[in-house]
């Protein structure tokens, strides 16, 4: 069985250029991802207290977005736009997402 040792991309000058580039890009990508994943570590995740327990804020805002999408669908039906507007699902989902993001910015932005 052949034993392989880890050699740094910088030290391994005999490897082809593309292989060294892929290793460097991979290492950089791993460093960036681990930095992004620790985004809530300093202040904690946004949450609120309801009935003595902490609930994540995204659950509340997802509910607000779903209600906004249902409201957009009801508005499309009430105004008659549902008969002439194509891609109604995309329109309703977009309206719900916009309302949820606006609620997030207004409620949790510092």
Q: State the residue range of the domain holding 97.
A: 47-108
From the CB of residue 61, how many other CB atoms can be counted at a distance below 10 Å? 19
Q: How confident is the model at residue 69 (pLDDT cuts 50, 70, 90)?
A: very high
Question: Could you tell me if 52 and 23 lie in one domain?
Answer: no
Question: Could you tell me if 23 and 72 lie in one domain?
Answer: no
Question: Could you tell me if 54 and 16 lie in one domain?
Answer: no
pLDDT in tens, 7-64: 554 555 566 777 777 777 878 888 777 777 665 555 666 676 777 777 778 888 899 9
Burial class (CB within 10 angstroms; exposed 0-12, middle 13-18, buried 19+) of 79: exposed
Question: Could you tell me if 11 and 62 lie in one domain?
Answer: no
Question: Could you tell me if 26 and 52 lie in one domain?
Answer: no
């Amino acid at each position: 069985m052949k034993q392989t040792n880890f050699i740094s991309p910088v030290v391994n000058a005999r490897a082809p250029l593309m292989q060294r580039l892929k290793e460097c890009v991979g290492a950089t990508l791993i460093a960036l991802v681990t930095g992004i994943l620790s985004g809530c570590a300093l202040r904690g995740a946004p949450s609120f207290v309801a009935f003595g327990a902490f609930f994540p804020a995204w659950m509340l805002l997802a509910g607000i977005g779903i209600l906004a999408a249902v409201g957009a669908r009801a508005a499309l039906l009430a105004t008659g736009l549902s008969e002439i507007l194509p891609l109604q699902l995309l329109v309703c989902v977009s309206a719900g997402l916009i309302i949820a993001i606006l609620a997030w910015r207004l409620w949790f932005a510092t």
